[in-house]
Amino acid sequence: MDRARDRQRVSSARIHKGSFGNLRLLWLLVGPGILVMLGENDGPSMLSYAATGARYGVGFFIPFIILTFVMALVVQEMTVRLGAVTHRGHAEMIYDRFGPFWGRFSMIDLMIGNFLTLVTEFIAIRAGLGFFGIPPWAAVLGTLGVLYVALMTHRYWTWERITLAAAMFNLIFVPVALLAHPQWRSIGHALVYWSPLPGGVNKDMVLILLADIGATVTPWMLFFQQSATADKGLTPRDIRFGFTDTLVGALLAATAAVATVIAAAPLFAHHMSAENFQAAQFAEALQPFIGRWGAALFALGMFEAGMVACITISTASAYAFGEVSRQPHSLNLPMSQGKAFYGVLFLEAVAAAGLVLIPGLPLVSVVLVVNVIAVLAMPPALIFLYMLVNDREIMGDFVSPRWANILASLVVILLVGAGILYGISVIAPNLFALIGGN
Amino acid sequence: MSEAPKSDVDRVSAENSAWVMQSLEAGQLASARSKHYPRRPLKRSEAILFWGLRMYLLFMLGVVVYQVWTTAH
């Protein structure tokens, strides 16, 4: 009923031609793309970007991060196409088309990856609010409260708009970057020449490279956007708007990511080691360069990044669980009909929240490891997506165009290549030196 | 275009049901969604690719564990 109501509004907007009609239609249809992109600018992602700026300054990594968002745009567009044509979630399609064996495999990958990522979101939340003197238990409980309020609307549209409004605060990193007095000339040079890369290619650089890819392209995004596209009720006529939605999301998220690198660059310029910094320590270290307000905004940004991702990632898990277990799965469901859906969503968040309250947990190591695992798990997930979106039996005339397939193949090759480079740097450092690393 | 029902009290009424069917695509209706897409048999090359990537993932996870272990010691 709720979805029908949403579709009626879309049909009404279609009747009104002209730029106002198109803008209204876009307003009604945007959501999953912006949410997935800003949701992926999560706690560990922002921490990776800050570590990048602090260790490498403004140079190679700025254009590289923009490239990772292009990669994300290519693969996320495929999920819109698939969700709008099949009206099914990603996990459900893998389960149906490739059978329970591969369906369960991809579901287990997703659940483990999401749980670990959720732990890192609560690390960011705890660290971000720690800057303001808020104790960890209060930070964690407050976030669970926000998650509960967002879910209790029992309406996809309301949930989406609340989460979108919260996600927009990701752009808080833009004023922080401006407070760092960026060298525009250096940024322009970096964008054109992809340099400098201080220290060259070495083991640490490969780790940051992988962490930055994992900060933009991860399996939960595929599951979330396809399921949200189906839950929102998008149809093949809306694919064009779904792409615009994803493009706008990618532009906003890339802006926030690059701003974070620029904001942390003063640490590089002043040769300050940020090797084991958490969010709050980044904010404290930056305070002499960007002032108390800038540092407070930075810490607030870390908290916001963790909180929004906490909402979207736990939702992605609940969608996948419902799709595979054949339980009702929609944010439009009342609690009585969606007990399993809301239960999985909330329990996963509570378990992750509880873990970060354990004293002595090596939080920074957990963040890095989780980002690396996300990159490694991406190629198997992408192959399922690639095959589904090229499956003429389910997609008909909406199969992925050739250019998108070529780009998606390049993304898989790049991800596998980065993973192999990381593997060589860890287990065979001598071989790594032979191929040009140091 | 018919007007959207104002309340949820009559969720199951015949009138509402007709309105929902008119608003949604056939594939979006609960009746259609309860049916599943048929299974697609995997070609040999596809099965090799799936297993290859699965092995890649397992091996690389081993590398991550090794790195965590060496860093911790």
* Domains of chain A, CATH where assigned: 36-434 (1.20.1740.10)
Q: How many CB atoms lie within 10 A of CB A423?
A: 21
Report yes or no: A7 at the B interface, CB cutoff 8 Å. Answer: yes
What spatial distance separates the first Cα and last Cα of chain B, rounded to whole Å? 70
Q: How many CB atoms lie within 10 A of CB B5?
A: 17
Q: What is the pLDDT of residue A330?
A: 86
Look at A383 and B53 and tell me if their CB atoms are within 8 Å.
yes
pLDDT-derived band at B9 (thresholds 50, 70, 90) equals: very low
Report yes or no: A426 at the B interface, CB cutoff 8 Å. Answer: yes
What spatial distance separates the first Cα and last Cα of chain A, rounded to whole Å? 61
Mean pLDDT of A355-371: 73
Better pLDDT: A426 or B35:
A426
Flag the least confident range among A22-26, A214-218, B7-11, B69-73. B7-11
Model confidence over A207-243: pLDDT tens digits?
888 888 988 889 999 999 999 999 888 999 999 999 9
Mean pLDDT of A338-354: 89
Report yes or no: A383 at the B interface, CB cutoff 8 Å. Answer: yes
- Chain B residue whose CA is closest to A113: B61
Name residues whose C-beta falls within 8 Å of residue A376's C-beta, 6 or more positions apart in sequence. A419, B56, B57, B60, B61, B64
Report yes or no: A87 at the B interface, CB cutoff 8 Å. Answer: yes
Alpha-carbon Rg of chain A, whole angstroms? 21
Does the pLDDT value for residue A369 go beyond 90? no
Give the count of alpha carbons within 13 A of A249, CB side only: 30
Q: Residues A93, A370, A55, A307: is their CA dihedral positive or negative? A: positive
Please give, rounded to a whole number of angstroms, the shortest distance from the CA of A340 to a CA of chain B.
Answer: 17
Report yes or no: A210 at the B interface, CB cutoff 8 Å. Answer: no
Look at A369 and B8 and tell me if their CB atoms are within 8 Å.
no
Model confidence over A400-410: pLDDT tens digits?
999 999 999 99
Does the pLDDT value for residue A174 go beyond 70? yes
Q: What is the pLDDT of residue A69?
A: 95
Does the pLDDT value for residue B10 go beyond 70? no
Does the pLDDT value for residue B7 go beyond 70? no
Better pLDDT: A415 or B17:
A415
Please give, rounded to a whole number of angstroms, the shortest distance from the CA of A411 to a CA of chain B.
Answer: 15
Q: What is the pLDDT of residue B1?
A: 46
Look at A7 and B42 and tell me if their CB atoms are within 8 Å.
no
Look at B23 and A5 and tell me if their CB atoms are within 8 Å.
yes
| CB-CB neighbors (< 8 A) of A387 in chain B | 46
Does the pLDDT value for residue A437 go beyond 80? no
Give the count of alpha carbons within 13 A of A17, CB side only: 0
Nearest of A67, A73, A65 to residue A34 by alpha carbon? A73
Give the number of A-B residue pairs with CB atoms closer than 8 Å: 93
Mutate to test the interface with A, among B10, B24, B49, B69 (most CBs of A within 10 A): B24
Q: Percentage of chain A surpassing pLDDT 90?
A: 48
Report yes or no: A419 at the B interface, CB cutoff 8 Å. Answer: yes
Q: What is the pLDDT of residue A278?
A: 63
Residue A424 dihedral angles phi and psi, to the nearest 5°: -65, -40
Flag the least confident range among A53-57, A94-98, A304-308, A358-362. A358-362
Model confidence over B27-54: pLDDT tens digits?
665 666 667 789 999 999 999 999 999 9
CA dist., res. A53 & res. A62, Å (int): 9
CA dist., res. A211 & res. A311, Å (int): 22
Mean pLDDT of A407-419: 91
Block residue for tokens 């483990």:
A112
Does the pLDDT value for residue B12 go beyond 60? no
Model confidence over A294-335: pLDDT tens digits?
999 999 999 999 999 999 999 988 888 888 888 888 888 888
Q: What is the pLDDT of residue A356?
A: 80
Look at A369 and B64 and tell me if their CB atoms are within 8 Å.
yes
Please give, rounded to a whole number of angstroms, the shortest distance from the CA of B33 to a CA of chain A.
Answer: 8
What value of ipTM does the predicted structure carry? 0.82
Does the pLDDT value for residue A17 go beyond 80? no
Look at A3 and B42 and tell me if their CB atoms are within 8 Å.
no
Q: What is the mean pLDDT of chain A?
A: 88
| CB-CB neighbors (< 8 A) of A12 in chain B | 1
Look at B36 and A96 and tell me if their CB atoms are within 8 Å.
yes
Block residue for tokens 């083991």:
A203
> Of B27, B38, B42, which is closest to A87 when you measure between CB atoms?
B27
Look at A98 and B40 and tell me if their CB atoms are within 8 Å.
yes
Q: What is the pLDDT of residue B24?
A: 64
Does the pLDDT value for residue A246 go beyond 50? yes
Q: Percentage of chain A surpassing pLDDT 70?
A: 94
Nearest of A118, A128, A114, A101 to residue A47 by alpha carbon? A128
pLDDT-derived band at A432 (thresholds 50, 70, 90) equals: confident
- Chain B residue whose CA is closest to A413: B53
